[in-house]
Chain A
Amino acid sequence: MLARSTSARRGGWSGFQRRYAPYIFISPFFILFLVFGLFPILFNAYLSFQQWQPGTGLGAMKFVGLRNYTDNLTDPTFWQSLKNTAVLAVLSGLPQHLIAIPVAFAVAGVLRRMQHLVTAVYFLPYITSIVAISVIFFTLFSWQYGVINAALSALHHLPLIGGLFPADRINWLGEKAYVQPAIALVVIWRYTGWNMLLYLSGLQAIPKELYEAAAVDGATGWQSFRFITLPLLRPIMFVAVTLSLIGGLQLFEEPFILTNGTGGAGQAGLTTIMYMYRTYTSYSDAGVAAAMSWLLFVVIGALTLLNNRLFGRSGLAGRD
C-alpha cells in the first residue's frame, strides 16, 4: 500500500516511465526470442508434417501427416547418422573428462605463479575457430606425410614402450574404422582444456580446511582424493558432462570440415545434424529435415534426462 502511494504521487510521464521501464528494458530479448527463437520452433513443427521443396513457394506445401517421420525412421542412413552421433559423443566426450580431471588436479596441486599461464595455454583451442582447427588437423592427419603418423612411427621405434604404438601408417580420414577416432581426437583436443578449467575452478572452491582435517586424521593422499575431492567435485562434473553430452550430440563443424562435407569413408563421419543439413540443402526436402530435427531433439532430451537421473542430484551423497 505504501509503495502504491509513492507511485501514485508521481503522476504523468515520470510515474509512467518509472513503472514500465523494466518491461521496456527487457522487451528486446522477448521480441527477438519470439521472432527468431519460438517462431522457428513452431514453424519447424508445422513443417515436419508437410511435404515441401522450399524453391516451389509456400503454396506448394502439402500436408502428409506423419510420413516425414516414418520416412526418417525407415531410412537406414538416418539410423546410421544417429549411431555415428552417439559413438562420436561418447568417443569424444569421455576422454575429455578422463584427461581433464587429473590435469586439473595436477595444476591445482603443484602450480602457483605459473597457474594462469598454464590454464591460458590449455584454453587456447577453445577460442580458436573450428574451421581453423579442422583445416590444421586435416593436414596433420594426412596418411603418407602427416605429422601425426610421423610422430606415431617415431614413437613406435622407441625401446620399451614402442609396442604401444602402431607400426603402420594409419589412413585416418580415408578408412572407415579411423574416421570417427580422428574426429573424436580433434574434439577432445579442442574441449579438454575447457573442461580442465571447469574442474580447476571446482577444485579451488573446496575449502582447504577439509584436507588439513583429513591429514590430521591420518588420511593418505588417495583417501583425501577419494573421499573429499571426488564427492565435492561431483556437481561441477555433472555440469561439465551435461555440456559435453549436449554438445557432442549436435556435432557438426568438426566432421563437416574434416570429411569435406561428405561424411567420410563409409559415411562414418556423418552426424545427424550433418545429415539434416544435407537433406535440406542438397535434397531440398524441408519437411523431412524438420522431422529429423524433432527426432534428434527427442533423443537429446531423453539422453539429457537419463544423464540427470544417473548423475544428477539423486546420486549425491548428502548435500553438496
Chain B
Amino acid sequence: MTTVKATDDRPTPQPRTRSRGQVPPLPQLGAYLLIGLGAVLTVAPFYFMFVFATHTRTDIFQLPPPTWFGGNLGENYTHLMERMPFWRNLWNSLYLAVLTTAATLFFCTLAGYAFAMYTFKGREVLFGLVLATLLIPSTLNIVPFALIMQALGWIDQPRALWVPGMASAFGIFLMRQYIGSSIPRELVEAARIDGATEFGIFRRIIVPLTGPAMATLGLVTFVQSWNSFLGPLIIFRSGETYTAPLALRTLQSVANTDWGALMCGVALTVVPLLILFALASRQLIEGLTAGATKG
C-alpha cells in the first residue's frame, strides 16, 4: 500500500517531506478516535471535580448527576472553612514542599557536581551505591520510620519529612547527568587556577549554569511533596499540623460527608498544581520520566 502511494506521489514532492504522514486514512481516523477517547476519559474526573465543587451534597447525589456548574460554590467554601483550618493546612503543604525542594536542590546539585566533575577514589562504587538505594521499596520502612521519628521527638514536625528526603538519589543522578554533559571541565579548571575554592566554584560557576536541571528537579520534588500522603499520615497527628491532603481525608471519614465542601477543598489543592503544570509541563514531564528512560 505504501509503495503504491509513494509512486503516485512522485510528481508532487510535498507529501514526501511529511516524514510519517503516510498513515492511511482509515487507521489515521482510528488513531485520532483513540487519542480523543483517552483524552476525554482522562479529563472527565477533573471536570466533575469542578462541577461538584459548585453543587450541594443533595445535588451531587441525584439522578442524573449534575454535568454543569451550579451556584453553590460560595456556600461549599464556607462549609469547608467551618470544618477545618483549610488555609492553615494548605500553608503546611506549601511550607513542607518549599523546604523539601530548597534542601533537595542544594544537596543534590552539590553531590551531582562532585560525581560529575571530580575524579576521586571510590567514585564509581559510591555512585553505584547511590543508584542502588533507588531499588529499596521505601514503603516497607513505615514502622521503623515512625518509631525513629517518635524517638527523635519529630512527630507533628515538618522536618520529619523534609530532612530525610533532602538528598534524594534520583536528584543526584539527574544533576550528575546534566552537569557532566553541559558544563565544560575547563571552566572549572580555569576558576581553580584563578584561586577559587572548591565550594566557591560550586557557588559561582556550577549553580548559575545548572538552571534548567534545577528547575526540573525542583518542580518534580515540589509536586511529589505537595501530593505525598503516606509520610504525612504517619507524622502528622493533629488538625493544626495536617497537610491539605490529610485534612481532606479526615473530612471524608466523617459520617454524612459534605461532598460539595470536600470537592471544593480538593479543587483548591489541585488548582495550584494545574497552574504549575500549565506553566512548565515540558520540564515536569522530562524530569519525571528521566529516571525511567535514561536509567
On A, residues with C-beta under 8 Å from B are 14, 17-18, 21-23, 25-26, 28-30, 32-33, 35-37, 39-41, 43-44, 47, 54, 99, 102-103, 105-111, 116, 118-133, 135-140, 142, 144-147, 150, 189, 192-194, 197-198, 201-202, 208, 211, 215-216, 218, 220-221, 236, 239-240, 243, 246, 249-250, 252-253, 257, 260-261, 273, 276-277, 280, 286, 289-290, 293-294, 296-297, 300
- A135 touches which one: B42, B139, B248, B281 (CB < 8 A)? B248
A-B pairs, 4 with minimum CB distance: A21-B198, A106-B31, A40-B144, A129-B227
Q: How far is it, in angstroms, between the C-alpha of A105 and the C-alpha of B40 when the chains are bound?
A: 18
How many whole Å from A17's CB to the nearest CB in chain B?
5
CB within 8 Å of A: which of B235-289?
Answer: 245-246, 248-249, 252-253, 259, 262-263, 266, 269-270, 273-274, 277, 281-282, 284-285, 288-289
Most buried by B among A41, A102, A135, A146: A135
Q: A23-B120, A25-B114, A136-B45 are in contact. List 4 more A-B contacts (CB 8 A).
A: A102-B34, A135-B263, A189-B45, A221-B24
In the complex, what distance in Å separates the CA atom of A240 from the CA atom of B115?
Answer: 27
B35 touching A103 by the CB < 8 A rule?
Answer: yes
A211–B89 Cα distance when bound, in Å, is 54
Closest chain A CB from B221 CB (angstroms): 12
Q: B residues within 8 A CB of A246?
A: 137
Q: Is the CB of B144 within 8 A of A41?
A: yes
Q: Which residues of A contact B277 (CB under 8 A)?
A: 120, 123-124, 127
Asked if B137 and A297 make an inter-chain contact with CB atoms under 8 angstroms apart, the answer reads yes
B96 lies within 8 A of chain A by Cβ: no
Q: How many angstroms between the C-alpha atoms of A179 and B142 in the bound complex?
A: 25
Give the dominant DSSP class at A's interface: helix
Residues in A neighbouring B181, C-beta threshold 8 A: none
Known contacts: A22-B123, A121-B42, A297-B140. The answer to whether A132 contacts B245 by CB under 8 A is: yes
Residues of B whose CB lies within 8 Å of any CB of A are 1-3, 6, 19-20, 22-24, 27-28, 30-32, 34-35, 38-39, 41-43, 45-46, 48-49, 52, 60-65, 107, 110-111, 113-115, 118, 120, 123, 126, 129-130, 133, 136-137, 139-148, 150, 163-164, 166-167, 169, 172, 192, 197-199, 202, 223, 226-227, 229-230, 245-246, 248-249, 252-253, 259, 262-263, 266, 269-270, 273-274, 277, 281-282, 284-285, 288-289, 292-293, 295
Chain B residues lying within 8 Å of A198, measured Cβ to Cβ, are 289, 292-293
A25 — which chain B residues lie within 8 A by C-beta?
A: 110-111, 113-114, 198, 202
A126 to B288, CA, bound (A): 10
**Which residues of chain A have C-beta atoms less than 8 A from B49's C-beta?**
132, 136
Q: How far is the CA of A26 from the CA of B3 in the complex (A)?
A: 57
Q: In the complex, how many angstroms separate the beta carbon of B236 from the nearest chain A beta carbon? A: 13
> Which residues of chain A come closer than 8 Å to B274, judged between CB atoms?
124
Q: Measured between alpha carbons, how far is A146 from B32 in the docked complex, in Å?
A: 29
Q: Please state if A189 and B248 are interface contacts (CB–CB under 8 Å).
A: no
Q: Given A39-B148, A41-B136, A132-B248, A293–B143 Cβ distance below 8 Å?
A: yes
A21 touches B114 (CB 8 A): yes
A39 to B230, CA, bound (A): 20
Cα distance, A125 to B96, chains bound together (Å): 22
Tell me if B167 and A29 are in contact (CB < 8 A).
yes
Query: Quick one: given A44-B141, A109-B23, A138-B252, are A129 and B245 in contact (CB under 8 Å)?
Result: yes
Contacts of A99 in B (CB 8 A): 38
Contact partners of B169 in chain A: CB under 8 A: 29
* Contact A28/B166 with A120-B277, A139-B52, A193-B42 known, Cβ cut-off 8 Å: yes
Is A129 a contact of B226 with CB atoms below 8 Å? yes
Q: List the B side residues contacting A260 at CB < 8 Å.
A: 252-253
Bound form: Cα–Cα A250–B139 in Å:
7
A119 in contact with B52 (CB, 8 Å): no
Chain B residues in 8 Å Cβ range of A286: 143, 147
Query: Whole-angstrom distance between the alpha carbons of A240 and B289 in the complex?
Result: 10
Query: What are 7 inter-chain pairs, A to B, with CB distance below 8 A?
Result: A124-B43, A128-B270, A138-B252, A139-B263, A250-B139, A273-B139, A297-B140
A210 to B206, CA, bound (A): 40
Asked if residues A131 and B229 are in contact (CB atoms below 8 Å), the reply is: yes
Q: Which residue of B lies closest to A43 (CB)?
A: B144
Find chain B residues with CB under 8 A from A126 CB.
Answer: 288
Of B115, B126, B164, B293, which is in contact with the most chain A CB atoms at under 10 Å from its CB? B293
Cα A107 to Cα B136 with chains together (Å): 34
Write out the residue numbers on chain A whose beta carbons fall within 8 Å of the beta carbon of B30: 106
Q: How far is the CA of A49 from the CA of B199 in the complex (A)?
A: 46
Chain A residues in 8 Å Cβ range of B31: 105-107, 109-110
With a CB–CB cut-off of 8 A, which chain A residues contact B52?
136, 139
> Distance (Å) between the CB of A219 and the closest chain B CB?
8
